[in-house]
Every structure is written in structure tokens, then in C-alpha cells.
């Protein structure tokens, strides 16, 4: 099924991530951004909605993941593997764990990179998308 992009109605939603579990928020956002909750879903098209996530720095994680969950990156040089745990990543970049979780749940390639831009993530409660009148979603 092919749907013309102009005929797709795209809505705006806002999610308050304070006290919510990281993976559950990411899974819900990935589903909305992908468009899986619509009857006209097609896996090869961008037809999902926009999601604004506030309080991303106050997202909850279970167990001892704050110390044990590791994030890896490579500098490109020999022996350049850098590791940091959840606490250090949140201290440096408060929104990065949520961004990485959502991006990991989206398809890889050009479509996934385009869909990842439809999730707007902010560390505090203020966001510049009030003009779109986003609907609040309670998880």
C-alpha cells in the first residue's frame, strides 16, 4: 500500500518521562514515531507522528543499571574503545540515553535516521513546540 505523504495527518504528542522506565518510554516513542499505531501503516514510509519528550534527565532505570549499564564508542584509532556507565553519560548529556534507546528501536538506514529526528527530547520541562498544541500521553 502506498500513501501519499501529503495525505497523512501527523499529530504532535508530549510525554513526561519523569519517573518512567527508560525502555518502556523508548518503545512507546519508537512505535508512535514509526506510525505503527495507525491503520495506514506501511513499513517503507514515514507516516508517524511527532513526539516531544520532557524531563528526559529524570527517567528511571531498574536494578543497578546506573553503575552496570555501559555505553561504548570508538575513536577510530587502534585501542580507541571508550566506555562509560549510565551515571556518567546522564551527567554529561542528560538526553543521550533516551536518544540512543529510541534510535536502537527504529529501522537502520535512511528511513530510521529520518524517523529519529521526529522525536524531540528535552532535559527540562520547557520545550519550543507549544505552538503545535501537543497532546499529552500518559504511559
pLDDT in tens, 25-51: 999 999 999 999 999 899 999 999 999
Mean pLDDT over the full length of the chain: 95
* HSE-CB for 66 with a 13 A CA cutoff: 12
* Euclidean distance between CA atoms 95 and 111, whole angstroms: 22
* Euclidean distance between CA atoms 112 and 90, whole angstroms: 24
Q: Is the per-residue pLDDT at 1 higher than 80? A: no
Amino acid at each position: 500500500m502506498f500513501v501519499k505523504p501529503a495525505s497523512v495527518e501527523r499529530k504532535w504528542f508530549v510525554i513526561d518521562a519523569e519517573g518512567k522506565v527508560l525502555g518502556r518510554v523508548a518503545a512507546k516513542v519508537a512505535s508512535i514515531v514509526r506510525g505503527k499505531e495507525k491503520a495506514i501503516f506501511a513499513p517503507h514510509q514515514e507516516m508517524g507522528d511527532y513526539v516531544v519528550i520532557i524531563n528526559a534527565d529524570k527517567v528511571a532505570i531498574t536494578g543497578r543499571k546506573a553503575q552496570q549499564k555501559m555505553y561504548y564508542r570508538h575513536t577510530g584509532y587502534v585501542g580507541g574503545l571508550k566506555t562509560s556507565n549510565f551515571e556518567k553519560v546522564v551527567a554529561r548529556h542528560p538526553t543521550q540515553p533516551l536518544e540512543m534507546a529510541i534510535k536502537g528501536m527504529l529501522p537502520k538506514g535512511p528511513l530510521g535516521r529520518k524517523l529519529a529526528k521526529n522525536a524531540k527530547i528535552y532535559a527540562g520541562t520547557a520545550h519550543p513546540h507549544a505552538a503545535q498544541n501537543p497532546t499529552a500521553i500518559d504511559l
